[in-house]
Amino acid sequence: MKATPKEQFHTHVGDHFEGLEAAFLTSDAHFSKKEPQSNIPLQLLTTLGPFVLLIGIWFFFMRQMQAGGNKAMSFGKSRARLSPCSRRRSLSRRWPA
């Protein structure tokens, strides 16, 4: 007889309960065992992720501070420059030939 989802109970028990399986067998309860699964990429991400993030932020700030002066933390700001063609036009307007 299969239990409905409302009657089911799921839990995680470590290996240190040797008599637990015998207790379930004597009480005529239906149970199943699964071996623990290890997710290595997730473990590496949670372990090394914060260190990589901190090193990345540190590297970013060190690069910004090498700019020196007031250029530190000026992300993507560039000064407008006049092209040589626009300079000629502006000169010709001021001093007619």
DSSP 63-90: HHHTT-GGGTT-TT-------HHHHHHH
Give pLDDT, residue 11: 81
In whole numbers, what is the pLDDT of the chain averaged over residues? 77
Q: Are 45 and 36 in contact (CB under 8 A)?
A: no
What's the rounded Cα separation, in Å, for the pair 50 and 83? 46
Using pLDDT thresholds of 50, 70 and 90, give the confidence band for residue 45. Answer: very high
Q: pLDDT tens, 54-64?
A: 999 999 888 87
Secondary structure of residue 1 in the 3-state scheme: coil
